[in-house]
Structure 1
């Protein structure tokens, strides 16, 4: 595939060219096996918590294998974000600082039909050349056509209209790649998770990063706690959105620049 590269060989000129033509790019050998195992192990208790809530709220039928909002004080998420995988590419794509919009996972099991298998894009409104969001997937297992590798309709990030299903599946490419790969793609790109026909589990992290002014799916600074954020690194505070908060009262609004909820350099 012309859009698959080694993570160590990342080049922004190549990134630009591939993202413009295909709308997605793969970087293999990005995460080490030990970290992958740590992440996979943490998904088990995390899924149990979320699955109970999905079922209790009556939305369990098409949510099988989906985990949302894994940004937590414990487990792997802060360690993952601190490592700033593909930070140069995302900063380049969004033309400035970025924050996490969502961080979740998909556990693709045989015979399951979660909503992510529907043809969709990950941003509600088509933004064309104005890039406000970029998606990242981390393959926690090898991606194959048999176990449900993602379908990407290459070039569809330049078109607003949703493709017909027959056209999509006849023309879409598959993201077949190694465990530990990073897949970056334009949020305007039409795609769909594949069906898993094997007895093995196919797991992936799914996340979105945006320009800082774009509203997060969950208010991560408030969820984690403002005091907790004071002990984080400057880079992590940026990614989590601590520097692009919205004041809730006049006292929070009328502050010196260095204490403002929405800091300079956030777009």
Structure 2
């Protein structure tokens, strides 16, 4: 079975078959060149801000080129999320509404050894057929063997046990994909970033989407401001997490249904 498709061919029937068997699927031609370039232009300044904080707090080791929580009003974030990439597939996978658990990026450069090169999966507890989280990689440079295309151990989303290093690297597939592609994969899938042997960066966004009751890695509604949420359309309110907030006091708790911080249909 093929697991690479043009984004115009995306449908939940094919997605369901491929993600069940392989654990991952690639959609090419998903993002416009304009949006890819806008994202790429923003990454280095955003990385510099984050790296200074990592260094100041003594945790910069093995975090080269990693950016976390790019949910900011001034960045590409809202424009990207508003385009609802793979929306139907994510709803189908999680069986209902979803929220953004995290949105980060990796700038993979030569000789770097970030922690993402370790074999890992993005959900700590193996959930089997009960799906809590789905991952999305947005390919911002062509992914090749030489520049560190991600290793994905096809089918490993079906098993709890972590593979040993030799088995993993002997058997894993490489996420060879063109700039502007999207890769979706089951959060139970074992994977690792590859090493970049070229002189150019290999960049990608990394997103996790979850069922709404699962805690976000950062409280994005509080980060952006509760008042800011009133300006957003229904999709952005949902995906950023404004419909799945937790009251912090009795006044926030005792509200009419339509004003409650945790809305209906957030199972």
Fold conserved (TM > 0.5)? yes
* Alpha-carbon distance in structure 2 between the residues aligned to 1:108 and 1:193: 8
Q: Which residue number in structure 2 is paired with residue 153 of structure 1? A: 153
**Offset at 1:250?**
1.2
Shift >2 Å, 4+ stretches: none
* Alpha-carbon distance in structure 1 between the residues aligned to 2:60 and 2:93: 35
**Offset at 1:60?**
1.0
**Offset at 1:254?**
1.1
User: Which runs of 5 or more structure 1 residues have no equivalent in the other structure?
Assistant: none
**Offset at 1:131?**
0.3
**Offset at 1:165?**
0.3
Q: Which residue number in structure 1 is paired with residue 108 of structure 2? A: 108
Q: Which residue number in structure 1 is paired with residue 95 of structure 2? A: 95
Is 1:11 equivalent to 2:11 in the alignment? yes
Q: Which residue number in structure 2 is paired with residue 242 of structure 1? A: 242
CA deviations 1:79-123 (Å, max 9, x no partner) are 100111000000000000000000000000000000000000000
TM-score under structure 1 length normalisation: 0.99
User: Which runs of 5 or more structure 2 residues have no equivalent in the other structure?
Assistant: none
Paired positions, count? 267
**Offset at 1:253?**
1.0
Q: Which residue number in structure 1 is paired with residue 205 of structure 2? A: 205
Q: Which residue number in structure 2 is paired with residue 84 of structure 1? A: 84
* Alpha-carbon distance in structure 1 between the residues aligned to 2:136 and 2:77: 14
* Counterparts of residues 26-105 of structure 1 (less than 5 Å): 26-105=26-105
* Alpha-carbon distance in structure 2 between the residues aligned to 1:60 and 1:264: 40
* Counterparts of residues 165-184 of structure 1 (less than 5 Å): 165-184=165-184
SS in 1 for 2:14: helix
* Alpha-carbon distance in structure 2 between the residues aligned to 1:11 and 1:89: 7
SS in 2 for 1:237: helix
**Offset at 1:262?**
0.4
* Alpha-carbon distance in structure 2 between the residues aligned to 1:34 and 1:83: 13
Q: Which residue number in structure 2 is paired with residue 225 of structure 1? A: 225
* Alpha-carbon distance in structure 1 between the residues aligned to 2:34 and 2:247: 40
RMSD: 0.7
**Offset at 1:146?**
0.4
SS in 2 for 1:112: coil
**Offset at 1:53?**
0.5
SS in 1 for 2:37: helix
